Structure 1
Amino acid sequence: MAMLPGGRAGHTRSLPLLFPRRSEGQDWFIGTFSSPGTTMPPVNSNAAGPSPTQDGPADTTKKRNKPQYNQFTRQELPACKPVLTLPVTIAMIAPVGIIFILIGLGCIATSNKVVELANRYETACVPENMRNNPVAYIQNPSEDKSCTRVLKVPRDMKKPIYIYYQLDRFYQNHRRYARSRSIRQLSDPKMASADSRLCKPEATADGGPIVPCGLVAWSLFNDTYSFARGNETLEVDKRGISWRSDRNRLFGKHVYPRNFQSGGLIGGGTLDPRTPLSEQEDLMVWMRTAAMPKFRKLYGRIEVDLRAGDLIQVTVMNNYNTYSFGGRKAVVLSTAGVLGGKSTFLGRAYLAGGAACLGLALVLALLWLLVPIKEEPYLGPARR
């Protein structure tokens, strides 16, 4: 007999208790304490169903869905959990700093192996009597736009030698400029008039849609370069300078230029109306807008080795108007390394990170030596 405080002999009270079923872990039921002669079965939330002790389809399903309890599922596998004392922290940071410095030195060494020639020509290719008004010179179609630049090869350059044109102070990342295009129009000939509102003011001409429309295509770079070494002409290979995904997917094989650069204001280069957009690789390269105002874009390749001391004559057709906004132009010849072109940014970033790690490790080492920290009383007898 269960006696409760304040109760009398021979009289029992029943007290409801709430606790989970151990076999399920989810359902709750109510049981009572009563006199020994009385049996009170538990009140299950699923009273209409079979009892938990009976075998049935529901019980079989529950057993089948029951997860397997092991060290992996319980996340009880043995693990190393080091206490981050000063010596442990120093031992972790110092090797990271050394590794970063080694990687940075390797990146810089790789970049230094790349041979690069760059030559600015936006001023040199303007006649001296027109340099006070270069905009009038570049907009006058009767003026001769050709000029010759001479580049001296400082070291041996192994093929392929990549040709880039470089622009500075040209903001292709401006939102209005970057959005001024129709993606559907580039890939589908039936969508010539699609998204024309995005292409304004270069959306229509002569009563028909412009293909490709928009400011990006309208401002296509149109300076041209030809190269010679003495009496030898260096052929420029322009095949494969664009992304394969652009040729196969973004620019359609049955989409041809229409009404392009036919207005009164010409923004840049023209396109051959008989050549589909999927073969206009200069256009594909140009329409990959740059993230920074100073950028390079691939113009072509020279499949000939150049030796140290060679003089390369570059004939430039200075057609592109960068003078109206104070832009700069340059032609670049460069080889390629494991990490691409010549750039020490990645190496310097690794060196800075490695130096920071080693500096922090040195500071912690000085603290450890000069200001000892008594940690043993707080780590338990196993660490003493």
Structure 2
Amino acid sequence: MEAGSSSGSGGVPQPLPAPSMRSRVFYRFTQQNLPACKPTLTPVSVITTFLLIGIIFVPVGLVCLRASRSVVEIVDRYDVECIPEQYQSNKVAYIKDSSIFKNCTRYLKVQSHMKAPIYVYYELENYYQNHRRYVKSRSEKQLLYGLKYKDTSSCKPQELSNGLPIVPCGLIAWSLFNDTYSFLRGATVMNINRKNIAWKSDRDHKYGKHVYPVNFQNGTLIGGGKLNPNSPLSEQEDLIVWMRTAALPKFRKPYGRIEEDLNAGEVITVNLVNNYNTYSFGGKKKLVLTTSGWLGGQNDFLGLAYVATGFSCILIAILFALIHVKIPRPHGDTNFSPWNRKSNAS
């Protein structure tokens, strides 16, 4: 029987259907027969590639480092200094005693000119917001729909208070950061803009515009800050910022913006209220004032990574070059490469 035909009923040869374009392409793909770029790595090409990577990466890293170092930052740890002398041996008792006023005054000296906007952050250390039990203790649908959403079992143990539902429920909202800061420039109070510190997507899509706090922080055990019961959750940006949990035990969260320049040598007076309990678990609290560059805040990691990678590539290129000069390796004949055998045979 001839190829490309088959016997039908009555023994009459029937032609076989021609393979479709799709099946032919699929066959070539599964057999790794499609055209492809198959470069031959010679010593010269390898050395050149490493050298080019190093020449590009080192200047980029230096530019990133310069941008990071141009950011002016003031960091002040206040959790220890703001404890009165008589309570230094028992900080937990001091922070839990609601009858004690916890006002504290700090003085920050501006070392270099700080151009507005100046971002104000609070920094916490040894605080594990990424703990599985803590992260799961919230209800996304309740934040959006309020009391209309009834299933808040994920919020335990802060689901109910005195038998009534809590809005917003969960451990994250319950432990809301509640230290406050105000700034004086001489005798003049500096304005802190506390709007638009949270992500716009969070304000618009994750927190209800008609959802108000209900029965919040009314239990016997108070975890942190309170909320304004007359303001919807979408406008309470302190809560929105806090609810976006941090991945690492040391993190910063925005508090506001100072929209006026600070000159070098000035002393800024900070009146703060030291409410938040980090003493029970050995945490640290810091106040951070920082400017911003085109690359963001002060972080040398990106620049150092580029510089380290660039110098490593340059060193590898030099090492390969020395080896190639001292112990040259004869090149193979590319005509005998697997992808050239078929053309040679024909």
Relative to the length of structure 2, the TM-score reads: 0.89
Tell me the CA shift for residue 352 of structure 1.
1.6
Q: In the aligned structure 1, how far is the partner of 2:64 from the partner of 2:253?
A: 23
- Report matched runs for 1:182-193 at 5 Å: 182-193=139-150
- Report matched runs for 1:353-368 at 5 Å: 353-368=309-324
Match of 2:293 among 331, 337, 353: 337
Partner of 1:95: 52
Is the CA contact (8 Å cut-off) linking 1:218 and 1:268 kept in structure 2?
A: yes
| DSSP 3-state at the match of 1:87 | helix
CA displacement 1:68-108 (0-9 Å, x = unmatched) = x9xxx9966xx875421101111111111111111111110
Partner of 1:379: 334
Partner of 2:212: 256
Match of 2:40 among 59, 64, 83: 83
1:87–1:180 Cα change, 3 Å: same
| DSSP 3-state at the match of 1:43 | strand
Relative to the length of structure 1, the TM-score reads: 0.80
- Report matched runs for 1:1-384 at 5 Å: 16=1, 19=3, 21=4, 29=6, 42-44=13-15, 82-194=39-151, 196-376=152-332, 378-380=333-335
> Comparing 182-191 with 159-168, which one deviates more in the overlay?
182-191
CA displacement 1:124-167 (0-9 Å, x = unmatched) = 00001100000000011121201111111111111100000000
Tell me the CA shift for residue 208 of structure 1.
1.1
1:190–1:148 Cα change, 3 Å: closer
Amino acid at match of 1:43: Q
Q: In the aligned structure 1, how far is the partner of 2:137 from the partner of 2:308?
A: 40
Amino acid at match of 1:372: P
Tell me the CA shift for residue 190 of structure 1.
4.4
Tell me the CA shift for residue 344 of structure 1.
0.1
Tell me the CA shift for residue 206 of structure 1.
2.0
Tell me the CA shift for residue 30 of structure 1.
5.8
Q: In the aligned structure 2, how far is the partner of 1:117 from the partner of 1:192?
A: 44
Q: In the aligned structure 1, how far is the partner of 2:39 from the partner of 2:150?
A: 65
Tell me the CA shift for residue 43 of structure 1.
2.6
Largest Rg, 1 or 2? 1
Q: In the aligned structure 1, how far is the partner of 2:161 from the partner of 2:167?
A: 10
Is the CA contact (8 Å cut-off) linking 2:183 and 2:270 kept in structure 1?
A: yes
Amino acid at match of 1:42: P
| DSSP 3-state at the match of 2:129 | coil
Partner of 1:59: none
Amino acid at match of 1:379: T
Partner of 1:55: none
Unaligned runs of 5+ in 1: 1-15, 22-27, 32-39, 47-51, 53-61
Is the CA contact (8 Å cut-off) linking 1:206 and 1:259 kept in structure 2?
A: no
Q: In the aligned structure 1, how far is the partner of 2:148 from the partner of 2:323?
A: 69
Is the CA contact (8 Å cut-off) linking 2:147 and 2:167 kept in structure 1?
A: no
Is the CA contact (8 Å cut-off) linking 2:164 and 2:215 kept in structure 1?
A: yes
Unaligned runs of 5+ in 2: 337-346
Partner of 1:5: none
Q: In the aligned structure 2, how far is the partner of 1:348 from the partner of 1:114?
A: 16
- More relative contact order in 1 or in 2 (CA 8 Å, sep 6+)? 2
Q: In the aligned structure 1, how far is the partner of 2:147 from the partner of 2:220?
A: 27
CA RMSD in angstroms comes to 2.5
Is the CA contact (8 Å cut-off) linking 2:146 and 2:167 kept in structure 1?
A: no
| DSSP 3-state at the match of 2:55 | helix
Q: In the aligned structure 2, how far is the partner of 1:289 from the partner of 1:66?
A: 52
Q: In the aligned structure 1, how far is the partner of 2:37 from the partner of 2:79?
A: 63
Is the CA contact (8 Å cut-off) linking 2:238 and 2:255 kept in structure 1?
A: yes
| DSSP 3-state at the match of 1:361 | helix
| DSSP 3-state at the match of 2:13 | coil
Amino acid at match of 2:113: D
